[in-house]
């Protein structure tokens, strides 16, 4: 193999790795689950709630602009240790199988797309929420990621406040959160907290500090940042620098 070919191969591997896991240091500190590392995203699975307490990933421009089509291959996550949720566990419940790591964020290749359809990545969402304001928020996160050249995303249900159960003990969350972080010389962070119901209000009405989300969930986001930077970013409630 020529020196040029070797260099190209190493560059390709490096870029591919960046797409998979640019900074494992940013994975949130878990509260009640155990970590499952998929190829393109990480989740913490709560057995008592039969769903993840968060899904964490890096949303790159390449992943948004990829050509992979939606697979809709909902299935058991083989990494769930016991009592896994099946593709039919939500049947007849009136709730959507709502993605935490959304399929449209993982168009890079077949593996990335297909892994978003593990049932561990699903949480019960009301149809008016999942197909309405939640979908709008996902669209705006992708728009911001494209504008900023990529962002980190943490998404999950607030499992400390239940609105019942379905399917043999799957917790129905009363609310969901999303945290977006852009690292760099001028880092910024923004958090959203939304009730599990439809709304026609602007997204800016649901901006909260990341500190507030941490108190509700007992999770610790981006703890590897220096204390002063983390404290400043997580106290912020301003949409300045974002397009929401």
pLDDT tens-digit map of 53-80? 999 999 999 999 999 999 999 999 999 9
The pLDDT of residue 17: 43
- Segments of 60-173 assigned E as strands: 96-99, 122-125, 151-157, 162-166, 170-173
- The kind and range of the H/E element at 182 are strand 175-182
Residues 207-233 have a mean pLDDT of 95
* pLDDT tens per residue across span 153-207: 999 999 998 999 999 999 999 999 999 999 999 999 999 999 999 999 999 999 9
The pLDDT of residue 19? 53
Catalytic (active site) residue 38: no
- CATH fold of 23-235: Extracellular Endonuclease; Chain A (3.40.570)
Exposure string of 162-185, with b = 16+ CB inside 10 Å and e = fewer, is eeeebbeebbbbbbbbbbbbbbee
Return the minimum-mean-pLDDT range out of 13-27, 98-112, 116-130, 190-204. Answer: 13-27
Domain residue ranges of the chain, discontinuous segments joined by +? 23-235
Catalytic residue among 50, 97, 99, 178: 99
- What's the pTM? 0.90
How do 170-173 and 162-166 pair as beta strands? Answer: antiparallel
């Amino acid at each position: 193999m020529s020196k040029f070919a070797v260099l190209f191969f190493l560059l390709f591997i490096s870029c591919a790795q960046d797409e998979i896991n640019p900074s494992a240091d940013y994975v949130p500190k878990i509260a009640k689950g155990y970590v499952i590392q998929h190829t393109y995203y990480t989740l913490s699975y709560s057995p008592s709630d039969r769903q993840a307490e968060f899904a964490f990933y890096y949303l790159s421009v390449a992943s948004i602009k990829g050509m992979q089509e939606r697979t809709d291959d909902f299935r058991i996550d083989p990494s769930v240790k016991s009592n896994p949720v099946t593709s039919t566990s939500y049947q007849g419940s009136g709730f959507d199988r709502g993605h935490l790591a959304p399929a449209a964020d993982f168009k890079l290749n077949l593996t990335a797309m297909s892994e978003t359809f593990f049932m561990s990545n699903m949480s019960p969402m009301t149809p008016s929420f999942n197909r309405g304001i939640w979908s709008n928020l996902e669209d705006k996160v992708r728009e911001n990621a494209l504008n900023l050249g990529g962002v980190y995303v943490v998404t999950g249900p607030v499992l400390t406040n239940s609105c019942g159960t379905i399917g043999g003990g799957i917790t129905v969350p009363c609310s969901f959160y999303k945290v977006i972080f852009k690292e760099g010389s001028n880092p910024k962070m923004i958090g959203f907290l939304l009730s599990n119901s439809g709304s026609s209000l602007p997204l800016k009405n649901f901006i909260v500090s990341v500190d507030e989300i941490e108190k509700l969930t007992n999770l610790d986001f981006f703890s590897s940042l220096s204390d002063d930077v983390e404290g400043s970013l997580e106290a912020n409630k301003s949409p300045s620098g974002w397009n929401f």
